[in-house]
Chains A and B, each alone.
Chain A
Amino acid sequence: MKLIGVDVGGTFTDLMYGDTDSQTVAIHKVPTTPDDPSRGVIQGMLEICARFDVDRGDVDHVLHGTTIATNAVLEYKGATTGMVTTEGYRDILHIGRHQRPQHYSIMQDIPWQDRPLVQRRHRKVVAERLAPPDGAILTPLDEDAVRTAARELREAGVEAIAVCFLFSYINPAHEDRAAEIIREEYPECFVTTSSAVSPQFREFERFTTAAMNAFIGPRVRTYVKDLEGALSENGFKADLHVMGSNGGVATGAMVSDRPVLTLLSGPAAGVLGGAMSGERSDRNRLITFDVGGTSADIGLVVDGQFAEATARDTWIGGYPVMAPMIDIHTIGAGGGSIAHLDAGQAFRVGPQSAGAEPGPAAYGRGGALPTVTDANVVLGRLQPGNFLGGEMTLDAAAAQKIMAEFAEQMGMTVEAAADGVLTIINANMANAIRSRTVQKGHDPREFSLVAFGGAGPLHGVDVARDLGIPEVIIPPYPGITSAAGLLTTDLKYDAIRTEFQVSGNVDGERLSRDFDTMRDGLAAQFKTDGLDEGAVAYQRSGDLRYVGQGYELRVPVADGPVDAACLADIFKAFEAIHTTEYGHVFEDNPIEIVNIRVTGVGQMPKIELPTQSQGGNLKDALLDEAQCHFRQDGDLQAMATPLYQRDKLPIDQPLEGPAIILQKDTTTVIPPGARATAQAGGNLLIETGA
């Protein structure tokens, strides 16, 4: 089986080719083409096939990480979108939760008011109303009104319509019928219903999710169609699969229908790639740490399971989105983060970034503000002549000059100022990791940190030490970990249903029935995708809370009928998770099953990275020696530091810090007291000494 993973980033489109039979892999990189990212994708695929002599027609699967949906939201460039909603509730999308994003601001904007996904003129109301607990019809659907609304929206030039009715998560009949009528009146329109996209309670969040799906729908649908066309024109016969935010891939058809599932496509692939690397070192408790120029993405993987964000914590571009997503915590900290004294004379680093243009001063493109990258240059950790495998030369003098000016403001030496920049940015990153570990009941000392992205390996050991993490793993190709992650994905679909059932009074038969119905729905989808029933595994879970609480916790549910024993297990597991997460349990209080979920995973073929059994010795890998600054016993000292070439490092022969390890994608820093070993699986394993 031949696979190509292609991940479109802001600057580069990364590709990885893998052959599961011959167990070969190859990597490639081309510039991203922002006006139409599919051009870069095709170009990269043609080049990687040509360069590694792969017959295009032989490629079985193309796995794709894309930012097309995300960018449509962030740039607010979507379709002219309409909405058909319940009479009396025209402005749910606009009022939201009536909360301002910032407490202490008069001049702030409110994203859903200042950048509405659907303008009020395109929000049409129709008579209909359902009621809990069973979705009983209080007011029947006014079908004529729906028809009229569809015609008006069509005339108004609307390209996509979201149908959003109250309580549709219990009973989708009205939404389904309205969508049917709209399609009759306006067949070319992109139509979506809130119950199909996210059948969960909380109307503002569900309606927003549906509206966003409609807003980005036409653009994503066109993109997928064009890309599939271009693949086939260029002789590729492979299926296109697109990475979803939930850590699995979906078919092009599925993504065209529900693009909102792909909003975290790229970062999710990164977490997967990090997880794959961790597994190559036989580690099963991992913190993935993906640091680029402007931001750091943090994920958590325990026993191959990704932490999933709770529905209330998922936001894109300031809008709430209720779609299954890997819990990825992003902070504004990266190589381009700018160091500055704020107006109150406090030393800050980020969240502002110099970006790629002009970039850090060391890029020599006119960057006039000191950045994290400049600090790494000043301290000798980035080597001017060996940056990106020598493809780019750094201007050390510029970095030195800008950092000296900054240091003077604080009366520090230039090295101390640069070291301060790193201390602060590392502390910010460590705090971000704490919020996903310590604050959720996980002890980081039991984890390994997988550091990747262009800047992750520069900071990994220092950040790990701050948290007491004993080891850091650097994947073989840290700069293209997302593309690598794509080659490890499975098809993954989620089903969800709101139940509101309380302990002591649970209708187990109804739960069993609903679980079965959801599973059957997923099975039908996998069948449509051409997957063998035997290749699909299902997992059940529930979102539970104490009655009265507003936040749910995810609890696994075993297979089989939901009987008394099963329920007892569920509630016991909930209390254990509550204790872990919050450090507290409310004994004997009633518990509510809010939602039930089924996740189906359809196995895709995987590549096995070849192991390396290279002998050699450290001397062969030694490129040079440089003076680098490190803290030793609390003091900043200049130390003679060897520079090694990553791909020549001998396997299983530890090297002691201080050392700098160079490769094309990145630079890895091994500070004094740390010890690094190249492993046969391709990873670099660093014992931090923490």
Chain B
Amino acid sequence: MNIQKNAPAVDHVTASVIQGALENIAIEMGYKLMRMSYSSIIRESEDFGAGLVDTQGRGLAESAQSTPLQSGPIPGYVRGMQKILAQRGETLKPGDVIMHNDAYSGASHGPDVGFIVPVFYRDELIAFSATTAHHLDIGALTPGSCGIVDAIDAYAEGLQFKAIHVYSEGEKVIPVWHILRDNIRVSDLVVGDMEAQIAAARIGSERLVELIDRYGKTVFQAACENVMDHSERLMRQAIAALPDGTYAATTYIDGYLDDPNPANRELPLAVAITVEGDEMVVDLTGTAPQIPDKPINMPLHGTVDIAIWLTVRSVLLDTDVHGHIPVNDGLVRPIKIVAPEGCLANPIFPAPTIARFCPGNQLADTVMKALAGVAPSQVSAGIGNLRVIAFTGLQNSEHWVHMEIFEGSYGGRDGKDGMDAVDTLYANTRNNPIEDIESHLPLRVDRYELREDVCGAGQWRGGLGSVREFVYLDDGGASIEGEGHKFPPWGFRGGNDGGSAGLRLDRTDGKGGELPSKLPYTPVQAGDRFVCVGPAGGGYGDPLLRDPEQVLADVTDGLISIDTAANDYGVVITDDLAVDDAATAQRRG
């Protein structure tokens, strides 16, 4: 089965055509999954992935519309599944479908359930077609699948699927589906989404067989090697363009700011990138030890590796600069990851991991900060991290669950301000329309605007954060995981730090108040309001070098005040909104 490196090369033209066909298949899988799925977390937030993987567990193509944190891990899901099946002495047969979510065997975290279809060509296993998606509930201790920040171990996080057959040789394995329905809240939606995942993965399998039929197995496999080698060459060239050396950075996460145990708060994430020739080692030594009973540990395969690859790729092979780059195994070959066992970035089972989303994105930001030392014009200043809230409740003894991902913002860039109020780095989901939320859930969104007068000043200022307010129209509950309340996004090259995030619960009984970034399940009453304040990205370059006209534009647009223009930028703006050149020159010295 192994493809040899010196197998007869496929011609340039065929390789190019097969590469396009593989991507086209993955895109179709993602398109169908997104349109068929039930939960807003998949179809609106696009928190799903679809991809094709070869028998060695190497990624061949991923769907373009899915989020990087879902498609990226798919090869790892397949490798983890293969390992478990091998340990159990099981083999795959045509018609099998495998469900897998083991965070210690390649899965990103428990709620991201993978469905894997082995692809057979003339009775021979030739590839895998797989989809992943974030499910609304996976049977954890409290409703929803985010904000379970009090899970004490992997068992408290919900159901664990370690390479489970849900179809066996085409036959549905009925008992497994009963277990799912009996142990998962909002199981109609979740099971519907799982069926959609399987349907999409099967389409990928069918299309792949058709493709191999056209070109024959030998040519197909040679083309796959060629396609992966191509991406590998691009990444090696990009790394080789950097001067050799070691570039290090550290940032901090909140952890549990209200935890009396100091070991659980203000935790370092350390990254040292060593560039040598066309290869790179990313060493996470110095990152805080794992927390044995809090779920912000990050699976090494499925979260940590994705955060690193995503950031390196976005900086060194930025698609805005380099155009479309085929995403496959080749891109990650030149990057080696070192993470000491037992640290936050390589926890030991059964340490819980379900709330790893925000720490993982902070790790991505730390990688970017390390790269800033060697590629300063290709990075942004520090990004604002994200927050996820599970809004839940019971109506007529039935659960409702709504998960909303809250945006961060980007830091300033060389020649450009930061992107305002967007998902950052390894996340790229979508918000839910207010008109959809209010039409289907007992919630009201009372405000959704930019956060004024808080931003990382710089020659290129950081992106602005957002303010969003959610009011409950009925009694219910909320579970929250976020980051960045304590540590603001970093400024770069003389730019100021950005603004940290905040969260407040205004209760109708007057007992609310400011909250830390993590909140385990908490009951709320009708009329209670969450005020969610998003972080503002760091500034890039000396604010005194910012074009006064741009400062004026920000004042005119109500983004910053006249005082801020003077204090942060040294630009004096008159009451009738004009730049006072003389006063500005004097102030800027």
Contact surface of A with B, Cβ cutoff 8 Å: 88-92, 94-95, 97-100, 102-110, 113, 119-121, 131-133, 166-167, 169, 201-204, 342-348, 410, 412, 419-420, 423-424, 427-428, 431, 434-435, 439, 500, 546-551, 581-584, 586, 589
Do residues A344 and B231 form an inter-chain contact, with CB atoms below 8 A? yes
B383's closest neighbor in chain A, by CB?
A106
A581 CB to nearest chain B CB (Å): 8
Do residues A103 and B428 form an inter-chain contact, with CB atoms below 8 A? yes
Q: How many residues of B contact A (CB 8 A)?
A: 87
Given the contacts A99-B428, A431-B21, A439-B28, A104 and B319 also touching, CB distance less than 8 Å? yes
What are 5 pairs between A and B in contact, CB < 8 Å?
A: A88-B449, A104-B317, A107-B416, A131-B438, A347-B13
Q: Which of A89, A105, A347, A410 contacts B448 (CB 8 A)?
A: A89
B233's closest neighbor in chain A, by CB?
A344
> Chain B 553-568, CB within 8 Å of chain A: the 1/0 string?
0001111000000000
Task: Describe B's contact surface by its main secondary structure.
Answer: helix
Stretch of B112-120, B281-289, B389-397, B417-425 at the chain-chain interface: B417-425
Given the contacts A102-B319, A583-B199, A94 and B36 also touching, CB distance less than 8 Å? no
Point out the residues of chain A lying under 8 angstroms from B430, CB to CB.
97-99
Point out the residues of chain B lying under 8 angstroms from A345, CB to CB.
230, 233
Q: Which of A98, A201, A348, A551 has the most CB of B within 10 A?
A: A98
B368's closest neighbor in chain A, by CB?
A106
Q: Which of A100, A166, A586 contacts B419 (CB 8 A)?
A: A100
Q: Which of A88, A120, A548 contacts B189 (CB 8 A)?
A: A548
Say yes or no for B39: interface residue by CB 8 A criterion: yes
Do residues B447 and A121 form an inter-chain contact, with CB atoms below 8 A? no
Do residues A104 and B318 form an inter-chain contact, with CB atoms below 8 A? yes
A682 CB to nearest chain B CB (Å): 35
Do residues A98 and B407 form an inter-chain contact, with CB atoms below 8 A? yes
Point out the residues of chain B lying under 8 angstroms from A106, CB to CB.
314-315, 318, 320, 368, 378-380, 410, 413
> Chain B 304-327, CB within 8 Å of chain A: the 1/0 string?
000000100111011111110101
Do residues A104 and B17 form an inter-chain contact, with CB atoms below 8 A? no
Task: Describe A's contact surface by its main secondary structure.
Answer: loop
Q: Which of B15, B315, B433, B557 contacts A119 (CB 8 A)?
A: B557
Say yes or no for B439: interface residue by CB 8 A criterion: yes
Which parts of B336-392 form the interface with A (CB within 8 Å)?
Answer: 368, 378-380
Point out the residues of chain A lying under 8 angstroms from B446, CB to CB.
88
Point out the residues of chain A lying under 8 angstroms from B122, CB to CB.
none
Given the contacts A107-B413, A203-B433, A423-B13, A91 and B450 also touching, CB distance less than 8 Å? yes
In the assembled complex, the Cα of A348 lies from the Cα of B323 at a distance in Å of 12
Point out the residues of chain B lying under 8 angstroms from A99, CB to CB.
46, 422-423, 428-430
Q: Which of A107, A133, A551 contacts B318 (CB 8 A)?
A: A107
A477 CB to nearest chain B CB (Å): 32
Q: Which of A90, A201, A424, A549 contacts B36 (CB 8 A)?
A: A549
The 9 closest A-B pairs by CB, nearest first: A550-B43, A548-B38, A420-B13, A120-B557, A347-B12, A98-B407, A584-B199, A97-B430, A344-B234
In the assembled complex, the Cα of A342 lies from the Cα of B318 at a distance in Å of 15
Say yes or no for B434: interface residue by CB 8 A criterion: yes
> Chain B 27-41, CB within 8 Å of chain A: the 1/0 string?
110011011111110
Do residues A423 and B429 form an inter-chain contact, with CB atoms below 8 A? no
Do residues A343 and B43 form an inter-chain contact, with CB atoms below 8 A? no
In the assembled complex, the Cα of A89 lies from the Cα of B446 at a distance in Å of 8
Q: Which of A109, A110, A202, A584 contacts B196 (CB 8 A)?
A: A584
Point out the residues of chain A lying under 8 angstroms from B264, CB to CB.
none
A204's closest neighbor in chain B, by CB?
B433
Do residues A427 and B36 form an inter-chain contact, with CB atoms below 8 A? no
Q: Which of B15, B439, B447 contacts A347 (CB 8 A)?
A: B15
Q: Which of A94, A344, A427, A439 has the most CB of B within 10 A?
A: A344
Do residues A423 and B17 form an inter-chain contact, with CB atoms below 8 A? yes
Point out the residues of chain B lying under 8 angstroms from A550, CB to CB.
34-35, 37, 40, 43-44, 436
Given the contacts A92-B448, A431-B20, A584-B36, A166 and B420 also touching, CB distance less than 8 Å? no
Given the contacts A88-B447, A431-B24, A548-B38, A94 and B46 also touching, CB distance less than 8 Å? no
Do residues A546 and B449 form an inter-chain contact, with CB atoms below 8 A? no
Do residues B16 and A121 form an inter-chain contact, with CB atoms below 8 A? no
Q: Which of A97, A108, A346 contacts B12 (CB 8 A)?
A: A346
A403 CB to nearest chain B CB (Å): 14
Point out the residues of chain A lying under 8 angstroms from B27, CB to CB.
435
In the assembled complex, the Cα of A431 lies from the Cα of B318 at a distance in Å of 25
Do residues A89 and B37 form an inter-chain contact, with CB atoms below 8 A? no
A427's closest neighbor in chain B, by CB?
B17
Point out the residues of chain B lying under 8 angstroms from A431, CB to CB.
20-21, 24
Say yes or no for B187: interface residue by CB 8 A criterion: no
A631 CB to nearest chain B CB (Å): 12
Q: Which of A95, A102, A166 contacts B450 (CB 8 A)?
A: A95
A419's closest neighbor in chain B, by CB?
B13
Given A104-B317, A105-B318, A549-B36, 20 new contacts (CB under 8 A): A91-B450, A92-B448, A99-B423, A105-B319, A105-B321, A107-B321, A107-B413, A108-B419, A113-B419, A203-B435, A343-B234, A346-B230, A347-B12, A420-B11, A424-B13, A500-B439, A550-B40, A581-B35, A582-B199, A584-B199
Q: Which of B12, B68, B230, B233 contacts A420 (CB 8 A)?
A: B12
Point out the residues of chain A lying under 8 angstroms from B500, CB to CB.
none
In the assembled complex, the Cα of A550 lies from the Cα of B65 at a distance in Å of 15
Do residues B407 and A95 form an inter-chain contact, with CB atoms below 8 A? yes
Point out the residues of chain A lying under 8 angstroms from B169, CB to CB.
none
Given the contacts A92-B448, A423-B17, A424-B17, A110 and B32 also touching, CB distance less than 8 Å? no
Point out the residues of chain A lying under 8 angstroms from B32, CB to CB.
439, 582-583
Do residues B43 and A202 form an inter-chain contact, with CB atoms below 8 A? no
Do residues A95 and B421 form an inter-chain contact, with CB atoms below 8 A? yes
Point out the residues of chain B lying under 8 angstroms from A113, CB to CB.
419-420
Do residues B234 and A166 form an inter-chain contact, with CB atoms below 8 A? no
B375's closest neighbor in chain A, by CB?
A106
Do residues B16 and A346 form an inter-chain contact, with CB atoms below 8 A? yes
In the assembled complex, the Cα of A547 lies from the Cα of B38 at a distance in Å of 7
B310's closest neighbor in chain A, by CB?
A104
In the assembled complex, the Cα of A94 lies from the Cα of B451 at a distance in Å of 12
Point out the residues of chain A lying under 8 angstroms from B55, CB to CB.
none
Do residues B380 and A91 form an inter-chain contact, with CB atoms below 8 A? no
In the assembled complex, the Cα of A132 lies from the Cα of B11 at a distance in Å of 59
In the assembled complex, the Cα of A434 lies from the Cα of B315 at a distance in Å of 33
A575 CB to nearest chain B CB (Å): 13
Do residues A201 and B439 form an inter-chain contact, with CB atoms below 8 A? yes
Say yes or no for B506: interface residue by CB 8 A criterion: no
Point out the residues of chain A lying under 8 angstroms from B250, CB to CB.
none
Say yes or no for B525: interface residue by CB 8 A criterion: no
Do residues A100 and B24 form an inter-chain contact, with CB atoms below 8 A? no
Q: Which of B368, B431, B435, B449 contacts A201 (CB 8 A)?
A: B435
Point out the residues of chain B lying under 8 angstroms from A584, CB to CB.
36, 195-196, 199
Say yes or no for B131: interface residue by CB 8 A criterion: no
Q: Which of B34, B38, B327, B435 contacts A546 (CB 8 A)?
A: B38
In the assembled complex, the Cα of A504 lies from the Cα of B370 at a distance in Å of 58
Q: Which of A97, A343, A435, A439 contacts B431 (CB 8 A)?
A: A97
In the assembled complex, the Cα of A131 lies from the Cα of B442 at a distance in Å of 12
Q: Which of A97, A120, A424 has the most CB of B within 10 A?
A: A97
Q: Which of B19, B234, B559 contacts A120 (CB 8 A)?
A: B559
In the assembled complex, the Cα of A95 lies from the Cα of B192 at a distance in Å of 31
Say yes or no for B237: interface residue by CB 8 A criterion: yes
In the assembled complex, the Cα of A610 lies from the Cα of B413 at a distance in Å of 63
Do residues B558 and A121 form an inter-chain contact, with CB atoms below 8 A? yes
Do residues A549 and B35 form an inter-chain contact, with CB atoms below 8 A? yes
Given the contacts A94-B420, A203-B435, A102 and B12 also touching, CB distance less than 8 Å? no
Given the contacts A89-B447, A344-B234, A551-B35, A166 and B434 also touching, CB distance less than 8 Å? yes
Do residues A586 and B448 form an inter-chain contact, with CB atoms below 8 A? no
Point out the residues of chain B lying under 8 angstroms from A435, CB to CB.
24, 27-28
Say yes or no for B466: interface residue by CB 8 A criterion: yes
Which parts of B104-137 form the interface with A (CB within 8 Å)?
Answer: none
> Chain B 199-227, CB within 8 Å of chain A: the 1/0 string?
10001000000000000000000000000
